[in-house]
Structure 1
Amino acid sequence: MAAAFAALVSLESNLRLIYNHPKYSFHFEEKQIQSLEGSVSFLIDFMKSYDNSLGARKQAAEALEMRIARAAQLAEDVIESHIVDQIRGGKTRSSRFLLDLQKAIEDMDYMRRKASNMRARSGSEQQRQTTYSSSSTVAAAQSTPLTSTMVGFDDILLQLLDLLTGVPSSRRVIPIQGMGGIGKTTLARNVFQHKNIVEHFDVCLWATISQEYSLHRILSELVSHLRKSNSGTVDELQERLYKSLCGPRYLIVLDDMWNVKALDDMMLLFPDTNSGSRIVVTTRHSDVAKHLGVSPVAMSFLDEDNSWHLFCQKAFAEQQGCPHELEETAKKIVAKCKGLPLAILVVGGHLRKSSMALDYWVHVAESIMNHTGNDEHCLNVLSLSYSHLPVHLKPCFLFLGAFPEDETIYVRDVYKLWIAEGLIQQGEYPSVEVAAWHCLWDLYLRNLILVYGWNHLYGIYTFKVHDLVREMCLKIAKEEEFLCVFQTPSAINRERRVVISGEANHEAMASDAPIRCLIWKRGRYDINNLYDLKLLRTLSNIATTSTSGSIFQQLNLRYLNVDLGYKIRPMLYYLPSSMSLLWNLQFLTINIADQSKVIAPYAIWEMLQLRRVEVDMICLIDPLPVDRLEQENHLVMRNLRLLFRVENFRLSDEVCKRIPNVIELRLSYCDEVNWYYCPRNLSCFNQLKVLWLKFDGNPKWREFVTSLTFPSTLEVLRLRGSGVHWEDLTMMVGSLPHFVELQLLQDSVTESIWNPKEEKFLRLKYLTIHGCDDLVHWNADRCHFPVLKCLYLSYLSKLEEFPSGIGEIATLKYICVRYCSASSTISAMRTLVEQVEQGNDSLRLDVFFRGDEETLESFKHRVEEEGLTSPNLSLQLVRS
């Protein structure tokens, strides 16, 4: 049960912190804490090893798990309440606290005895299979990522391609209709990314509509994909979009359409210019498809052969087909999935990570109930996969229901919330962040998340959760009292994790509510109306115009995401020194208006539990001098991994000692050039991987930047306004052993000729040059960046020629040229065509060229004259 395991893991972490907190000394009876630790450790081991999904004991086990959850939650409430009281008023031990703690200890001890008896009665002390051990999880991490190849829909794919690229020339709407999980979005995505479609249409846009329909959100999404400003009213965005689509031949995909009203609203946005434009609508509702007055592309269930083929792809991805002894049972499992792709994928993903013992597969086959092919049947199959998840993954999986339907979810947000909520056990991993990464990867291998974006540093970058999978998350989370999502709550009784997607009801959040986690979606909530929720540990998406109110009185917070005057004029915001009383704050995110600043007190250096500090612009006071620091070396922020954006940050010896384990830094300098900032100390950060440096464009910064000593661990560097020369750049980072990505933004380099040197940038895989408008000649070939994979060039108006030799780099897969000079753009297209003609089919080029009507006509004429077309080339012309 997710709630029980999560409560135990969180309690275990707190008990450990009581004795090891780097700042506070808390007053507890040692024997009492040791007794609790013993019970918690036993119960965690019990939940990892006990299989409650088999036989008649399931109901009794679930009842016990519910009682374990409540006992662990009560114990954590008593302990954290006492800690907050100590911090607020210096209280030690009241008689009420002693009684409450003793009751919590007795309850946990009773749960331990009950669990021991149940384990003995089951006659099985053998730990069930789990992927939590380091060996199995590392193997998972090394597995080949699963593909999203369509299986069994080749004919439909070809039919849809014909409908999109054929006659008539008038605008045409094509609905794709079928039940949830049948593959509508996968089909649309495969078509959307098909090379014939990319070549045929001038503009391709994708918007997810979803059940929670917001016209402003959808317009903003579409306009942003056109690289235009997505701020403004609905009318302004609608006009901006409509005008942008009046000229080009466009393809619009409207995914997950739920009702006719939303469909009618959307149809008004897209002009019919007789250019062959197309609109694809995916929906599970037949009335939406019928409303369009055209026959839909109907998605049917997979036949027996294709179902088996898809299942084998997923269940036996690391083997050569299905073992003979499992084949009969495996085919029974596939048959019960009723040809539904999502069900086959999820069950296949589960079995891929499970035991290959025949009796286990027989149990899975018997567990899938026979229903007709509908959403309820799919939920039944999905819930089977949840039931057999390793217990440490269950809380992580259920928490994904906190994110809105169809939302693109950033992995960094998931990690922060998982860790803050105490859902992650570090175990044998080097850090809790690494443990969280392995949990997400495991969910991916089980096909429970849909990956949308990858990052070369961190792997999965963004993902989505299928509607039906999310529906299952919410259903189980509510049943297990793990998480509740409200539109507008009238009262909060037992709920500890609350997500509010609508308007807030202030009375529902009274101070005696048991809320531990409070998340707002679809908007920001005014914190000034929030009661003092003494034990609140996660507070997300809230707003305030003042830092002196109740926001920093929530002393138990582990996660805080707040807007400070986000909609008003630029201001200075002074954080109170009392913020250091937040004894376990780990994640601090502050959003402010442009040109505003947050001034942090010295006390922030005493917040030793901080892991990530993310502020749009923050000023930090220097920490204590060296002599004092040596006497107080316990005041070291060993957990801090990310810090941004710090203005005029002094890299003093004291700073280097305070944050020794920082991995990512984003710094901004706009003061007078001053050696006071200690640039040479940058090398002291011997775990630093990612560094962003922004300067105000003063050419005097060049000497400062070239004096920086970069640590050998650095992998990514982003520069802006630094004014260095190309030779400086080579000397600074060209020889770093792990350096893989270089981003050069506006005025980062101010020199007209770049002559790269051989034996430099030997590990560089990703190169971005944006707005370095002095660059005229770039004399590069395949020897200079031997392992380059992706190249992004933008706003280089003086660049005369794209270096054709770069196209010969064997590892190069992608080039993007955006709004550069006509000559460099044409030469890049010429390079691509030549490479494809020579058999290099893996290289792709995206071109965006902008100009007035005369410039665009001249450019098109040159392209046609030279025959610069290729399936691997995408060209978009934008009128300025």
Structure 2
Amino acid sequence: MAFVVVTSLLEIVEQQLIIQPNPSLILYNKEMIVMLSQKLRVLRAFLMGSGKKTNGSCGEEMLEAEIRDAATEAEGEIESKLGQVYLAANRGEDVVVACQGLHQTLVQVVRDFEAIESRILTQNANNASRGSSTNDFREESFMVGGLSENAVETENEIVVGFDHDVEEIVYRLVFLKQSGKREVIALVGEGGIGKTTLAKIIFEHPSVIDHFHIRAWVVVSREHNLKEMLISLLNCIAPITSEISNKDEAQLAEQLCKRLMSQRYLIVLDNVWTTTAWHAIQQCFPHNANGSRIMITTRINNVARDINSHLHIMKYQSLRNSQELLSRKAFRGRFYSTPIYEYFRDRILLQCRGLPLAILVMGGLLATAKGSLEVWREVADTVELMTRDDKIISRILSLGFEYLPSHLKACFLYFGIFPEDSDVPAKKIINLWGAEGILKQEKNKSLEEGAENCLLDLINRNLVQVNKLSIDGRIKSCKIHDRLHEICVREAKRENIMCVIDEKHDPQASRWISCQSSHWPITRACCGTHNCNKIHSIFYFGKYLYPSKCRLVYPCLKLLRVLDLSLIKCLHGMPSEIVDLIHLKYLALSTIGSLYKLQLLKLQNLQTFIVSSWMEDYPLQLQCNILDLPQLKHLRLEKRCSQYLPSLVRENLQTLYWLKVTSLDRNQNFRMVPNLKELGIYIEGELLSGCVESLVHLRLLEKLKIEIGRVEQFYLPTAFPSKLKKLTLHSTYLPWHEMGIIGKLPNLEVLKLKDFAFCGPEWNPIGWEFQDLKVLLIAHTNLKRWNANFQHFPVLERLILRYCWDLKKVPIGFAKIRTLKLIELDSCYSSIVTSANQISSAKILSFHSMSDRTLHVRHFGTKVEWPNNESSEEES
């Protein structure tokens, strides 16, 4: 894809040669480098213009191919020469010869792009008669609107036409008297008809939540993995430790069966393709004679029948429901009922055949038109020209991709790297886009902010789905429907930008390598037969691999930027050759042992570094100077291998988990990392008063976690950063009267108090504090009396109480909080559940507006309430 390569090359030229050149570089002609940057911007503008057209001319396609090939070759040559400079500098050698080689390469690249630029001008002259000119191409803003404009309504997903289905299935799950045996209900229908959406609505239905002791959900997929399925189901019941995840399938199956025994459970198996997957896991579900249920979603009737399930056949949307769904999506609640819009709408819907996924993708496409009748007409004409056959839905879905701007096409195709039905963390995809160089940083915005806008744009177009939300309602992870995933993979392969390696396909030289086999794809043999210099990214998604003797990386991967080995269990630190991958920007590892001997500081371009241990008994041993890497933005380590603050100011650093603070650190100087946005602090040993006072200087910090290890006393700082939005305290054992320091924070939205973060029998909040707090979580505390009312938490939306065994009730004054929508209780006494329900009833009587009245009470397990209140036994 020409746009990806040109944008990536432009990022190299501007970041590594103009804005932040390596100190070892000798740049002989800076004016020529600026000229190269300008020419690349012209090429990118041309590609953005041609990318808007769904049917470009043959000349434009040939010119795009020429630009792609020239930019690919130039990128490889420039990065190779830069690599020679960096390696010479690391070895203490003279860099003059290497810099001369880089200069000669840059001269030739400028000449090549001058020739292409002249052909663009010729193309412009040929297009002048059609009213299109390359001179009119201007670099558009990479992000379509700001965050507020692109905000996605994740809480109120547009759902139409499922009311009867929900009522029928909830009745069957909860109220219909059965023989007591375990029953299986199958939602059957075409891909994109709404099976998973319906299952989620039912899974979160209040009656279902109240009825079942345990609810668990797992995505099965086409190529099912029994171990991953078992771990996912266990994780729905209790947090997974590395000890559990390292067990074999038989041990995991036995543990799951024990957890479900004697419990009334609801298990959802989403996207089942074969009966083999069912037979592999169904033995883990005990035949409790208590009304336990299993719900599956499948496209295949025979699978549902072979499982001996009750079939619920999904219906296509009626014309009326289809009209409502498209209009609500296209106009975002502003309904235009003029005859001309209805005419184009109905022409489009005729081809969508009542399939919700196709309707939503078309609605997302039309929403970007902002009411332009010209676009509505063009889309209607395009879909009407499609031949009505079995592939028409696939072609309609492809239109959602074809109408994307060039930068969003690249972002969308990147989802093809992940296996079908993958749950993709939002932060991960954002950091990967940045490492790949496929996005350009905007003025007054970080690259991450721009990438988040791109993700929101794809979600609003219904090309990407929100999968999980964080506790404060932000997007935690996302996924892509498997019918859209097919388009991702197909288009990326067609552009020769991605290669998926599985048991059926061998490695091929592509920019992105997605390994989904049980073997490491890159060997010395394939290095001799393929041009591996084209490879920029390698992801390993296969079954767990133990590389005890094999070498994972080779000199042929010298241009690698992204290496994700998080599913490979490295035994001794990490492969030593990795430190020679000097262009690496993203590195994720799962390992045990020591990394002390590795020269990690050679990775001068590294932006994201993620390291975890796959065995709890073998903590990592890591160098303490990793924060000295000049380009590092995001560092995620385990608490036991925490880092110390750097010796020099590092303005790039945005994310740091974890920072270690000990008795030797008398005064942490957080001015060394002034632009941190997320920080985790782990404290061990005796802590001196005022040790973390300089936290207040982190003027951009939005998220802070503080966890205590072996510490006698923790001293709360007298002030926190004013922009702090999320604060988590863990095992700090603070008295409740010190809560006033936190309550004064002007922007605090989420407060999590875990494992006796605050302790003592009584909390008396002060009025007009916590003015912006939306989410409050308290887990494990000895609090008995909580004297609070609506003035203390005026905009609270969610209250979560877990293992609060001394607290008997929720303050009745919370009934007057207009914004309160959810009270979630986990393993608390039944008296708290009763008080929460009383608050819900009182709230209905307090406010006239239905939006102010709605308050859901959810409880998961109730602590047995013995007369002496001394037993810690739980029912569930």
TM > 0.5 between the two?
Answer: yes
Aligned match of 1:535 in 559, 575, 585?
Answer: 559
Aligned match of 1:610 in 632, 637, 644?
Answer: 632
Cα distance in 2 for partners of 1:445, 1:387 equals 16
> Which residue is 1:868 aligned to?
none
**Alpha-carbon offset, residue 131 of structure 1:** 8.0
Q: Quick one: structure 1 residues 162 and 583, their matched pair in 2 at CA, closer, same or farther if it must change by over 3 Å? A: same
> Which residue is 2:861 aligned to?
849
Is contact 1:49–1:128 with CA below 8 Å preserved after alignment?
A: yes
> Which residue is 2:236 aligned to?
225
Cα distance in 2 for partners of 1:749, 1:281 equals 43
Cα distance in 2 for partners of 1:737, 1:120 equals 58
> Which residue is 1:482 aligned to?
497
Cα distance in 2 for partners of 1:501, 1:813 equals 42
> Which residue is 2:250 aligned to?
235
- One-letter amino acid matched to 2:719: T
> Which residue is 1:106 aligned to?
111
Is contact 2:669–2:694 with CA below 8 Å preserved after alignment?
A: no
Percentage identity across paired residues of the two chains: 28
- One-letter amino acid matched to 2:393: C
Q: Quick one: structure 1 residues 64 and 494, their matched pair in 2 at CA, closer, same or farther if it must change by over 3 Å? A: farther
**Alpha-carbon offset, residue 199 of structure 1:** 3.4
Cα distance in 1 for partners of 2:170, 2:645 equals 62
Deviates more, 1:692-701 or 1:329-338: 692-701
Cα distance in 1 for partners of 2:202, 2:725 equals 35
- One-letter amino acid matched to 2:540: W
> Which residue is 1:672 aligned to?
686
> Which residue is 1:41 aligned to?
41
> Which residue is 2:826 aligned to?
818
- One-letter amino acid matched to 2:562: T
Q: Quick one: structure 1 residues 813 and 131, their matched pair in 2 at CA, closer, same or farther if it must change by over 3 Å? A: farther
Cα distance in 2 for partners of 1:602, 1:162 equals 59
- One-letter amino acid matched to 1:716: K
Deviates more, 1:520-529 or 1:40-49: 520-529
Q: Quick one: structure 1 residues 183 and 821, their matched pair in 2 at CA, closer, same or farther if it must change by over 3 Å? A: closer
**Alpha-carbon offset, residue 506 of structure 1:** 3.9
Cα distance in 2 for partners of 1:241, 1:275 equals 18
Is contact 1:506–1:530 with CA below 8 Å preserved after alignment?
A: yes
Structure 1 segment 183-582 matched on structure 2, within 5 A: 183-227=194-238, 229=240, 230-231=244-245, 232-293=247-308, 296-354=311-369, 356-368=371-383, 369-372=385-388, 374=390, 376-455=391-470, 459-488=474-503, 491-502=506-517, 503-507=519-523, 510=527, 513=532, 514-523=534-543, 526=547, 528-532=551-555, 533-541=557-565, 542-544=568-570, 545-546=572-573, 549-565=576-592, 573-574=595-596, 576=598, 578-582=599-603
> Which residue is 1:784 aligned to?
792
Q: Gaps spanning 5+ residues in structure 2: where? A: 90-94
Is contact 1:509–1:531 with CA below 8 Å preserved after alignment?
A: no
> Which residue is 1:698 aligned to?
711
Cα distance in 2 for partners of 1:767, 1:697 equals 26
User: Cα deviations across residues 12-62 of structure 1 (Å, max 9, x unaligned)?
Assistant: 11111212226524234425423421220101111222356355x434323
Aligned match of 1:173 in 184, 194, 212?
Answer: 184
Aligned match of 1:662 in 669, 676, 692?
Answer: 676
Question: Could you tell me the TM-score, scaled by structure 2's length?
Answer: 0.88
Say whether 1:642 aligns with 2:655: yes
SS in 1 for 2:610: strand
**Alpha-carbon offset, residue 243 of structure 1:** 3.1
Cα distance in 2 for partners of 1:564, 1:342 equals 41
Aligned length: 834
Is contact 1:518–1:539 with CA below 8 Å preserved after alignment?
A: yes
Aligned match of 1:687 in 691, 700, 713?
Answer: 700
> Which residue is 1:874 aligned to?
none
- One-letter amino acid matched to 2:176: G
SS in 2 for 1:550: helix
> Which residue is 2:742 aligned to?
733
Is contact 1:802–1:827 with CA below 8 Å preserved after alignment?
A: yes
Is contact 1:420–1:559 with CA below 8 Å preserved after alignment?
A: yes
Deviates more, 1:475-484 or 1:826-835: 826-835
Q: Quick one: structure 1 residues 666 and 489, their matched pair in 2 at CA, closer, same or farther if it must change by over 3 Å? A: farther
- One-letter amino acid matched to 1:211: R
Q: Quick one: structure 1 residues 112 and 786, their matched pair in 2 at CA, closer, same or farther if it must change by over 3 Å? A: same
SS in 2 for 1:296: strand
Cα distance in 1 for partners of 2:183, 2:139 equals 51
Cα distance in 2 for partners of 1:575, 1:833 equals 63
Deviates more, 1:164-173 or 1:65-74: 164-173
Cα distance in 2 for partners of 1:652, 1:323 equals 70
Say whether 1:121 aligns with 2:135: no
- One-letter amino acid matched to 2:671: K
User: Cα deviations across residues 332-360 of structure 1 (Å, max 9, x unaligned)?
Assistant: 11111122111111011011102644343
Structure 1 segment 9-28 matched on structure 2, within 5 A: 9-17=7-15, 18-21=17-20, 23-28=22-27
Is contact 2:679–2:703 with CA below 8 Å preserved after alignment?
A: yes
SS in 2 for 1:584: coil
Is contact 1:693–1:719 with CA below 8 Å preserved after alignment?
A: yes
Question: Could you tell me the TM-score, scaled by structure 1's length?
Answer: 0.88
Cα distance in 2 for partners of 1:97, 1:623 equals 32
**Alpha-carbon offset, residue 284 of structure 1:** 0.8
Q: Quick one: structure 1 residues 804 and 240, their matched pair in 2 at CA, closer, same or farther if it must change by over 3 Å? A: farther
Is contact 1:51–1:128 with CA below 8 Å preserved after alignment?
A: no
Q: Quick one: structure 1 residues 489 and 34, their matched pair in 2 at CA, closer, same or farther if it must change by over 3 Å? A: farther
Aligned match of 2:609 in 557, 579, 588?
Answer: 588
- One-letter amino acid matched to 1:558: K
**Alpha-carbon offset, residue 468 of structure 1:** 0.4
Structure 1 segment 798-813 matched on structure 2, within 5 A: 798-813=806-821
Deviates more, 1:393-402 or 1:706-715: 706-715
User: Cα deviations across residues 137-159 of structure 1 (Å, max 9, x unaligned)?
Assistant: 45632575584343234443333
Q: Gaps spanning 5+ residues in structure 1: where? A: 566-570, 625-634, 860-876
Is contact 2:331–2:371 with CA below 8 Å preserved after alignment?
A: no
> Which residue is 1:718 aligned to?
728
